[in-house]
Structure 1
Amino acid sequence: MSVRILALVGSLRAGSHNRQLAEAAIKHAPEGVEVVLYEGLADVPFYNEDIDVEGGVPAAAARLRDAAGLSDGFLLFSPEYNGTMPAVLKNAIDWLSRPYGAGALTAKPVAVVGTAFGQFGGVWAQDEARKAAGLAGGAVLADVKLSIPGSVTRFAELHPADDAEVVTSLTEVLRQVAQGTAAAAA
């Protein structure tokens, strides 16, 4: 049985180091694990209950929910913007939290990782993303962490997919998310 993990990247930049980290996860996913990078978070409107009604959900939000519904687990990649997670990632979590108690995140394993320029690798943002995903119903794997500091210098000439230490750590994160899907199904 294959495990499908949906990767949501909190940076919209094409050359984002967090996007590159997601690309590394796709490239180095363990056997039996498929990582799918969600494209289109920039198109999802800010969450608004007035437009989250049957027959009125914006197409971009419906596509996000559909992709999440087809996934067994989630891997969120969060840079740190002014000490917290980017709005685009928080917005995705908000859309996936509804309908309340039955959103696409509900009871599915969620891990949060990332890289940032600072010396702590974005831990504040990642902690906030864990908190939001948990409140949204996700089964947050609180002990599954990967925060890579100094992204601008570390990945200046080396893609994360070619960094042996990153690959080893990221593969372990994916293994733990896959194990979480088995536990959620039991």
Structure 2
Amino acid sequence: MTATVLAISGSLRADSYNTLLLHAARKHNPGGLDIEIYEGLRDIPPYDGDLDHPDRRPAAVTELRRRAAEADGLLIATPEFNYSIPGVLKNALDWISTNPTGGETVPLHRKPIALLGAAPTNFGTVRSQLALRQVFVCTGSDVVVKPEVHVFRAHERFDEAGNLTDETSVALLRELLTTLRTKIESRGGTASAA
């Protein structure tokens, strides 16, 4: 069966290299994954503990929690802001990492997650991915360890149409997706089959 992967870009920019990287993941999908790109990050309000209850959450948050919970895995492409995670991405993860009533399923708990990122710098997104890994230790998520996909000097690795053209980056991307698929399968297959 095909596993569903919710892909989230941590950038709001229309021409974001990280969003392009998620489209490249769809194009170079090794098979067995249905990659759905999430486009509602801009609609997620700042985290507010007073609203973090099933009866009070904003509709955009409820939808993101539902989609993350139903997905068999997550694919997160992060830029690097000030050596760390973009605020909008961290904010979204805060909303889907909680269980204030004690009776909800936490969408990130034990969820297979693969990280990747693209940046115009020489270090790619090494530091922001490291910061994300720390967040996912707290949430108990099952993060892919290797390969690490840091598309550095991204402006040289995409063509004018937004296609990822660097063969090494494509190979690493395919390996990352294959490893994510293996993690999902080792957990008993897809959510729909579980």
Structure 2: gaps (5+ residues): 190-194
The 5 A counterparts of 1:49-64 are: 49-64=49-64
Q: TM-score, normalised by structure 1?
A: 0.92
Residue of structure 1 in register with 2:22 after alignment? 22
The 5 A counterparts of 1:11-160 are: 11-99=11-99, 102-155=105-158, 157=160, 159-160=162-163
Answer yes or no: is the 8 Å Cα contact 1:80–1:86 preserved in 2: yes
1 CA distance for matches of 2:137 and 2:180?
Answer: 15
Q: Which moved more, 1:105-114 or 1:134-143?
A: 134-143
Paired residue type of 2:51? I
Q: Which runs of 4+ in 1 moved over 4 A?
A: none
1 CA distance for matches of 2:157 and 2:165?
Answer: 11
Q: Can you list the C-alpha shifts for 1:142-174, whole angstroms capped at 9, x where unaligned?
A: 233100111133336363434332222111111
Q: TM-score, normalised by structure 2?
A: 0.89
Paired residue type of 2:149? L
Paired residue type of 1:7? A
Structure 1: gaps (5+ residues): none
The structure carrying a bigger helix percent of its residues is 1
Answer yes or no: is the 8 Å Cα contact 2:72–2:112 preserved in 1: yes
Answer yes or no: is the 8 Å Cα contact 2:7–2:38 preserved in 1: yes
Q: How many residues align?
A: 186
Q: Which moved more, 1:99-108 or 1:88-97?
A: 99-108
Residue of structure 1 in register with 2:186 after alignment? 183
Q: 1:116 to 1:42 in 2, by over 3 A?
A: same
1 CA distance for matches of 2:157 and 2:16?
Answer: 13
Q: How far off is 1:185 after superposition?
A: 2.6
Paired residue type of 1:163? D
Q: Percent identity?
A: 37
2 CA distance for matches of 1:161 and 1:34?
Answer: 19
RMSD (CA atoms): 1.8
